[in-house]
Structure 1
Amino acid sequence: MLAALLYGQEDLRLETVEDPTPAAGEVVIRVGAATTCGTDLKVWRRGGHARMLKPPTLFGHEAAGEIVAIGHDVTHWKVGDRVVANNSAPCMTCFFCKKVEYSLCQNLLFNNGTFAEYLKIPAAIVQHNLLPIPDALPDALASMTEPLACVLHGAARSNVKSGDRVVVLGDGAIGLMFVAALAFGQGEWCNQPSTVSGQPFAEVILFGGSDQRLELGKTLGAVKTFNYRQVENVPALVKELTEGWGADVVIEATGVPSVWEMAIACARPGATVNLFGGCPRDTSITVDTERLHYSELTVKGVFHNTPTYVRAALKLLASRALPFEHLITEQQPLAQLGQVFEAMKQRKVVKVAIAP
């Protein structure tokens, strides 16, 4: 089969490799669509990921398709089933899993290789995070289950209340998904009732660097958008927009250390700051300890997803309640993957659906 392999920093190659065969408990799917992700872009630019993969390796982690082969001991699935597989599964037995903190699982199994004609799904993912795709949901939308699950997990951990003013820093796909999830929360990610139809749950203010993406942010529910390149002082503007207080909740979705610091500066006393974007390894930030203490800030990192949010994400995508299809700006064949990553680097596209 044709597959993409990452060899190092911005070194992505299309090669012919052996078709995968399933071992006991595994399945193989024919990839119908694999969507690109900001994490893929970061990994491509950095040449690896401390937890998810080490080059050389098959590449890509969002995909949906059809089961074409089943290993021994696989039940409840058959050849021909349309499925979406999360890119990971918790072990269910370690210290953190026993505390139902699945994103902290010490044996978290990651699976890569979606930019290919076929993808083998490990047994743990088949058991815990392989889901049937509803008939009316296209593969390209279903493949966004994994990133949306991460966003719903992040939203649930952000202490957002109805009517809160939320600042999202970052207009990539993850930031834009946060805008939609927080502006029109469907009750999937919080312990509060679903919003009244057409009424925003939270007032979301989006900052980013692309006017085109900021317009998309408005489509997804942002009440105000700003190009940070045209703003002299982002925290000062946020305070101006909030009667001098700052945001109730701040979501950082860039993975840039200086923006982590900016996120904390945008928060009001008593706010929650979700440092969601993963920064490069061995980086650090400076925090004003007096403000952190006396303003009673809640500053947290939120990583990845859990089986609960994987299911919630697929349900939300299938409902078509939110226009996530706008995030897919192009569809391209696998042969164009190199050009797609160059376009992502130049921020010409948001998400691209790759068809093998």
Structure 2
Amino acid sequence: MLAAVLYGQEDLRLEQQAPPVPGPGEVLLRVTAATTCGTDLKVWRRGGHAKMLKPPTRFGHEGAGHIAALGDGVTGWQVGDRVVANNSAPCMDCFFCQRQEYSLCTQLVFNNGTFAEFLTIPAPIVQHNLLPIPEGMSDAIAAMTEPLACVLHGLSRSNIQSGDRVVILGDGAIGLMFVAALSLGYGVGGRGGEAERTKNEERKTELLRSSFFSLPSRQHANMPCEIFLFGGSSTRLQVGEAFGASQGFNHRQVADVPGLVKSLTNGWGADVVIEATGVPSVWEQAIACVRPGGTVNLFGGCPRDTTITLSTEQLHYSELTLKGVFHSTPRHVRDALAMLAAGDRPFEKLISDERPLKDLQQTFYDMRDRTVIKVAMRP
């Protein structure tokens, strides 16, 4: 089979490998769509990731397809089932899992290698984060479950209340997903942040019971928050407006972003600021945009060993809340798939193109140059 292997900084190679064989509790997935991700781009450019992988390694972490084979002991699934597999699963037993802080699990199992014809799904993911693709949903849309789950986890930790003015810095796929989910009311007033109590035997039916299948579609005029999106692409800002942004601003045309935010918020600053670029200077800008008593979600992962400068006076006397948010949880994986299935926002606008796997290297050059948002690779 053909598979992408990351060897180091911008060193991505397509290789012929023997198809994997699923072990006990595992599932073999025939990948039909693997979407590219901003995290993949950062890992490709930096040559590694602090948590998810170390080169050389199979590459890619967003994927959907058909079950090609079942390992010993797997029940509840059949060969041919259309499924989406999250790229991780918690252990459910450690200190953090016992406190339902699953994204902090000390034994978090990661799975990479969606840019390939076949992918083995580890047993913990089969148990906790393998889901059926709803009828009528394309595999490419289903593959975006993982990044959207991270976004929903981020919103659930952002202290957003109805009527808040929220600034989102970054018009990549993640920033645009934040706009879409927030415009639907996710995370507002704590929605989506309640304790998770997933059970293995309910992994299929829980999707159908997700709150998002009963969430009424909202018109932009009735959004729960004002959403101000800042980015560097007029085309992407237009997508943001289609997703529900109140206003979009090209930061290249704004001399003073914090000053503009204050002018939009009666001189105070935003109630909540979400940083979705992973650039240290933008982390600092996010803190400069928030009002006293507000919350800053530092969502974008910066390069290893980077630091920012922080005013202790501002942090202390303005009573700011700074949140670092990482990854997702089983609850948010299910909510993400349900949100995609509901079709209340045109998530297909995030997929700029569909390409064969042989074009993967060029696709990363195009992502670097920002000529595409996401691309669905077809092994």
Instruction: Quickly name the TM-score band, shorter chain normalised.
Output: over 0.9
Which of 292, 299, 302 is matched with 2:315 structurally? 292
Give the share of equivalent positions with the same residue, in percent: 68
Q: What is aligned with 2:344? A: 321
Q: What is aligned with 2:178? A: 178
Q: What is aligned with 2:153? A: 153
Q: How many residues align?
A: 356
Q: What is aligned with 1:197? A: 218
- 2:91–2:105 Cα contact (<8 Å) kept: yes
Q: What is aligned with 1:282? A: 305
Q: What is aligned with 1:141? A: 141
Counterparts of 1:263-274 in structure 2 under 5 Å? 263-274=286-297
Runs of 4+ that moved beyond 3 A = 190-196
**In structure 1, distance between residues paired with 2:369 and 2:277:** 15
Q: What is aligned with 1:305? A: 328
SS at match of 2:229: strand
- 2:355–2:376 Cα contact (<8 Å) kept: yes
Q: Which runs of 5+ in 2 are unaligned?
A: 195-210
Tell me the CA shift for residue 197 of structure 1.
2.8
- 1:183–1:221 Cα contact (<8 Å) kept: yes
Tell me the CA shift for residue 215 of structure 1.
1.1
Distance 1:155 1:195, change over 3 A: farther
**In structure 1, distance between residues paired with 2:114 and 2:359:** 15
**In structure 1, distance between residues paired with 2:326 and 2:8:** 24
Tell me the CA shift for residue 210 of structure 1.
1.0
Tell me the CA shift for residue 186 of structure 1.
5.0
| Matched residue type, 2:320 | L
The answer as to 2:279 corresponding to 1:256 is yes
| Matched residue type, 2:319 | E
Q: Which runs of 5+ in 1 are unaligned?
A: none
The answer as to 2:122 corresponding to 1:122 is yes
Cα displacement string for residues 122-156 of structure 1 (whole angstroms, at most 9, x for unaligned residues): 00100110001111111000000000000000011
Distance 1:65 1:54, change over 3 A: same
Q: What is aligned with 1:344? A: 367
**In structure 2, distance between residues paired with 1:196 and 1:161:** 19
Tell me the CA shift for residue 183 of structure 1.
1.7
Q: What is aligned with 1:88? A: 88
SS at match of 1:281: coil
Distance 1:155 1:231, change over 3 A: same
Cα displacement string for residues 204-245 of structure 1 (whole angstroms, at most 9, x for unaligned residues): 101111111111111111111111111111101100111101
| Matched residue type, 1:262 | Q
Q: What is aligned with 2:200? A: none
Tell me the CA shift for residue 189 of structure 1.
2.6
Cα displacement string for residues 306-339 of structure 1 (whole angstroms, at most 9, x for unaligned residues): 0000000001111111111110011111011111
- 1:52–1:110 Cα contact (<8 Å) kept: yes
Q: What is aligned with 1:104? A: 104
- 1:92–1:102 Cα contact (<8 Å) kept: yes
Q: TM-score, normalised by structure 2?
A: 0.92
Q: TM-score, normalised by structure 1?
A: 0.98
Tell me the CA shift for residue 184 of structure 1.
2.0
Q: What is aligned with 1:218? A: 241
Superposed CA RMSD? 1.4
**In structure 2, distance between residues paired with 1:291 and 1:118:** 51
